[in-house]
Structure 1
Amino acid sequence: MREGAAGRMGRRGFLVAASACAAMAALRSPPLRAADAARYDHPWIPSDAFLADLPEWMRAFGVPGVGIAVVEEGELAWHRAFGVADVDSGTAVDADSVFECASLSKPVFAYVALQLVDAGVLQLDRTLAHYHRPDYLAKDDPRLDRITVRDVLRHSSGLPNWREHPDREPLRTLAEPGKGVNYSGEAFFWLQRVAETVTGESLDRLARRHLFEPAGMRDSTYTWNAHAARHSVMGQPAPGATPVVQTFRSQWSLLQPIAEAQGKPLPEWVWDDAVRALPRAQAAAPTGMFVWPGDLLANAAASLRGPVQDYARFIAHVMRPDAGPPRAITETTRQAMLAPQMPLRAGWLDKGLGWNLERIDGDARWFFHGGANAGRYKTFTVGDPQRRRGLVVMTNGGGGTGVYQRIVRAATGRDMLAFDL
């Protein structure tokens, strides 16, 4: 259950890397002058005129369904659903519809990891190998022992995004850790293993206790449950694209009876549970769906799912400038999360801790992230921490990039550099 390179088919086409986080290519326009900042100081709820035209854009890009949620003054202020959750059944997208968040999974896990840092369970500049060294790491790569928690969260680990053959290919670095950006789902998955090791909890249980419940994200999960089974949308490939498997949705339905037989719910599975279940999963699934234990686990980099308004509640949680509800990160940690940690394009675009940052005016920056799974799900979120304003767009169509870009432009009034890939 991992992201793959864009456009690649087969197993590596199961999940497509979130393009908004990989690398930034060209620049459209300079950052705002202070005198111009006021023109962005307006609510981000899209206009009625734009929303009336949205179904036409959805048809043009072959996107069946869209969910939009807006945060204003640090609170969920508005959300709407458009189109259908399942093309075959014609079921409408509604407030209960559960979307694959794709790589929007990463900022959520980054927040949980930073909670563990605040609690003293993890240290940002301590190496992952200090806490846990998986047996699939290459034995002849000393750079692996220099990757820190900070490196993972700012994508400077030097690791690849995902291995092509994790069942027989050791994980090794592509570059020296800490020297530049290498977008990596593998790094997030290793940090997930670390978090499970130091807490004794599965990813989903850890996220639920530390974040989902305090933030009111009651219908979010990194795995699968009865609510997700009833309300998860069905993804649709972009027009003309070759379909690939529905990945997580297909996998979880096969794993559910195995979990019931083992007497341990999927949200509670850790690595050892996946190791034990792998032979049964392989026997029950099409060839190539499950090749290593990581395919059976929740995935901090890609497997989060939930309704669009739940993710908006997370955005509101991130922008809270005080101690907030129980288990929120400290203000110092929150500021570090949203501060430049590694340049993508110096002075313009940076990596924060779990987020991408775009300069808007002076030192003011918006944080953002995008996601793409299986060529069927496209997502994007952006937040303005100074004004405590945010926008989340989730789609169940492989052509969703063209749709969410138009929504973001219409709502924020800005043509983001994030879209220049």
Structure 2
Amino acid sequence: MIKISVQRLVVFSFATLLFSCSATKKVVETSTGKGADKSDLLYMEIHRVAVEATQNNNVPGVAIAVIQNGKVAWTQCVGLADMKSKKTVTTETIFNVGSVSKLVSAWGLMQLTEKGLVALDEPINPLLVRWKLPVSQYDISKVTLRRILSHTAGLSVHGYGGSEQGTPLLSLEESLSGKTKRNGESVRLISEPGTKWEYSGGGYTLAQLLLEERTKEKFADYMKKNVFEPLALNHTHYEWTEEMMASSATAYDSSGKPIKNRIFTEQAAAGLQTTILDLAHFAMLSVTSDSRQLNKVLKATSLQLMEKPVLPFSDLGKSGLGYRFMNYEGFETIGHTGENEGWSAGVFMHLPTKSGIVILCNGSNGDRVWYPIYQSWIKRIKVAEK
């Protein structure tokens, strides 16, 4: 989920220099990526901003990818994946991406509609067996997959805190019933479906259950087999596998102290791990909607539908199916941001110019890093639009 408001984001862009690390750390550019051109003014500007922002905000490292003309133009990695070992960030470093997970999980959920396992506007409660929405004063039959994916279903639970790696996880049913340690809030209707935009991580947990019920597979396994493998996202998973842990960055809290990774029952909402190269490739597919590259994971028409806003929306928020419309400083992009303890990420795409930027950080203060980088990027996009 987004940790800070748009208003606070603007403040951070001016306040970056006020934050300083208690200890000096080495900042290293570790990878330029294929196609990088250091004479590119945007490349140099983003590098300068990334070095400054990581140093000033207790964020050890950041990985960045820029999409231009529908292709990944270059990547750059700055800083450390682990401060103790001095392991640098590379394009193969694994990051958790928080609520960016929703953007990716929406592809698997949309795939269910193409397979005829659920219709976008079909009531989902009758399809569920293991757990159902509790009786409500509001109309449960209006809770549909379209409304869940667009945050218009009227459901509760904004976000999740997860558990420390190594601790037992709740079942999906226990999470939906409100047995989470963070807020103890159950997933239920809190407004009439289809009448307002209201961000709900709980809705995505309900959709995760729907996928498992309709496919008879675990969510993480289904996504790996039906989305990640066909798209060659070979370093992306909704679980922390041993192989991924070996390549993972270390998470750091807001004071710069290392913390244990968080694991999530609510994988569709918050549990995705990936690399900058994998997520940049995913973003590129979103920008181009090229049926040849989609490899039958989704139809191009389905993806284009996902990238259109769903009514109702307001100043509080605006979403497609998994894709959020984000308006910072009067400039609208689609994509998603994500914040889990120790991690921060942003995926921003501008479809008219086939441009995008992906930013992954291994620190709780990562929003103070990705936002000034985002600002540098949109200056270039605004020029290209004219």
* TM tier, smaller: 0.7 to 0.9
User: How far apart, CA to CA, are the structure 2 residues paired with 1:337 and 1:64?
Assistant: 34
Q: How does 1:199-218 map to 2 (within 5 A)?
A: 199-218=215-234
Over residues 166-196 of structure 1, what are the superposed CA-to-partner deviations in whole Å (9 max), with x where a residue is unaligned?
2386532111111111211111011111111
Over residues 313-332 of structure 1, what are the superposed CA-to-partner deviations in whole Å (9 max), with x where a residue is unaligned?
11112223342232242233
Query: What is the aligned partner in structure 1 of residue 15 from structure 2?
Result: none
Over residues 249-279 of structure 1, what are the superposed CA-to-partner deviations in whole Å (9 max), with x where a residue is unaligned?
xx5xxxxxxxxxxxxxxxxxxxxxxxxxxxx
Q: How does 1:252-263 map to 2 (within 5 A)?
A: none
Residues 1:85 and 2:99 are matched in the alignment = no
Cα gap change, 1:97/1:162 in structure 2, threshold over 3 Å: closer, same or farther? closer
Cα gap change, 1:111/1:231 in structure 2, threshold over 3 Å: closer, same or farther? same
Give the aligned residue type for 1:366: T
Cα gap change, 1:50/1:219 in structure 2, threshold over 3 Å: closer, same or farther? closer
Give the aligned residue type for 1:301: A
Query: What is the aligned partner in structure 1 of residue 276 from structure 2?
Result: 308
Cα gap change, 1:343/1:406 in structure 2, threshold over 3 Å: closer, same or farther? farther
Residues 1:335 and 2:336 are matched in the alignment = no
SS of the aligned residue for 1:318 comes to helix
Over residues 26-52 of structure 1, what are the superposed CA-to-partner deviations in whole Å (9 max), with x where a residue is unaligned?
999xxxxxxxxxxxxxx9983314413
Over residues 387-416 of structure 1, what are the superposed CA-to-partner deviations in whole Å (9 max), with x where a residue is unaligned?
222110010111111110111111221799
Per-residue deviation at 1:357? 1.7
Match of residue 340, structure 2, among 355, 373, 376? 373
Over residues 337-378 of structure 1, what are the superposed CA-to-partner deviations in whole Å (9 max), with x where a residue is unaligned?
1111135436x9621111112479x9x95312111002x211
User: How far apart, CA to CA, are the structure 2 residues paired with 1:405 and 1:365?
Assistant: 14
Match of residue 73, structure 1, among 66, 69, 75? 69
Per-residue deviation at 1:228? 1.1
Cα gap change, 1:45/1:171 in structure 2, threshold over 3 Å: closer, same or farther? farther
Over residues 277-304 of structure 1, what are the superposed CA-to-partner deviations in whole Å (9 max), with x where a residue is unaligned?
xxxxxxxxxxxxxxxxxx5x46101000
- The answer to whether the 8 Å contact 1:45/1:411 transfers is no
User: How far apart, CA to CA, are the structure 2 residues paired with 1:232 and 1:100?
Assistant: 9
Question: Where does structure 2 lack aligned partners over 5 or more consecutive residues?
Answer: 11-38, 161-174
Cα gap change, 1:387/1:215 in structure 2, threshold over 3 Å: closer, same or farther? farther
Cα gap change, 1:19/1:383 in structure 2, threshold over 3 Å: closer, same or farther? same
Match of residue 246, structure 1, among 260, 267, 273? 260
Range with bigger deviation, 54-63 or 315-324: 315-324
User: How far apart, CA to CA, are the structure 2 residues paired with 1:24 and 1:359?
Assistant: 8
Cα gap change, 1:103/1:414 in structure 2, threshold over 3 Å: closer, same or farther? farther
Query: What is the aligned partner in structure 1 of residue 35 from structure 2?
Result: none
User: How far apart, CA to CA, are the structure 1 residues paired with 2:8 and 2:53?
Assistant: 25
- The answer to whether the 8 Å contact 2:101/2:268 transfers is yes
Query: What is the aligned partner in structure 2 of residue 111 from structure 1?
Result: 107
Query: What is the aligned partner in structure 1 of residue 59 from structure 2?
Result: 63
Residues 1:406 and 2:372 are matched in the alignment = yes
Match of residue 166, structure 1, among 178, 191, 194? 178
SS of the aligned residue for 1:391 comes to strand
User: How far apart, CA to CA, are the structure 2 residues paired with 1:409 and 1:387?
Assistant: 17
Range with bigger deviation, 131-140 or 49-58: 131-140
Cα gap change, 1:412/1:352 in structure 2, threshold over 3 Å: closer, same or farther? same
Query: What is the aligned partner in structure 1 of residue 320 from structure 2?
Result: 352
Q: How does 1:360-399 map to 2 (within 5 A)?
A: 366-374=333-341, 376-399=342-365
Query: What is the aligned partner in structure 2 of residue 185 from structure 1?
Result: 201
Query: What is the aligned partner in structure 1 of residue 249 from structure 2?
Result: 233
Per-residue deviation at 1:136? 6.3
Cα gap change, 1:345/1:48 in structure 2, threshold over 3 Å: closer, same or farther? same
Per-residue deviation at 1:155? 0.4
Give the aligned residue type for 1:78: W
- The answer to whether the 8 Å contact 1:219/1:227 transfers is no
TM-score (norm 2): 0.77
- The answer to whether the 8 Å contact 1:203/1:298 transfers is no
- The answer to whether the 8 Å contact 1:381/1:390 transfers is yes
RMSD of Structure 2 on Structure 1 (CA): 3.2
Identity of counterpart residues, as a percentage? Answer: 25
Cα gap change, 1:107/1:50 in structure 2, threshold over 3 Å: closer, same or farther? closer
Give the aligned residue type for 1:246: K
Question: Where does structure 1 lack aligned partners over 5 or more consecutive residues?
Answer: 1-16, 29-42, 252-294, 417-421
User: How far apart, CA to CA, are the structure 1 residues paired with 2:132 and 2:125?
Assistant: 12
User: How far apart, CA to CA, are the structure 2 residues paired with 1:191 and 1:146?
Assistant: 14
SS of the aligned residue for 1:70 comes to strand
Larger RCO, structure (CA 8 Å, separation 6 or more):
1
Cα gap change, 1:415/1:328 in structure 2, threshold over 3 Å: closer, same or farther? same
User: How far apart, CA to CA, are the structure 2 residues paired with 1:134 and 1:142?
Assistant: 22
Give the aligned residue type for 1:384: H
User: How far apart, CA to CA, are the structure 2 residues paired with 1:357 and 1:215?
Assistant: 24
Cα gap change, 1:213/1:387 in structure 2, threshold over 3 Å: closer, same or farther? farther
Over residues 39-82 of structure 1, what are the superposed CA-to-partner deviations in whole Å (9 max), with x where a residue is unaligned?
xxxx9983314413522221111110101012223232211211
Cα gap change, 1:210/1:76 in structure 2, threshold over 3 Å: closer, same or farther? farther
- The answer to whether the 8 Å contact 1:68/1:81 transfers is yes
Query: What is the aligned partner in structure 1 of residue 286 from structure 2?
Result: 318
Cα gap change, 1:19/1:327 in structure 2, threshold over 3 Å: closer, same or farther? farther
Residues 1:18 and 2:32 are matched in the alignment = no
Per-residue deviation at 1:312? 0.8
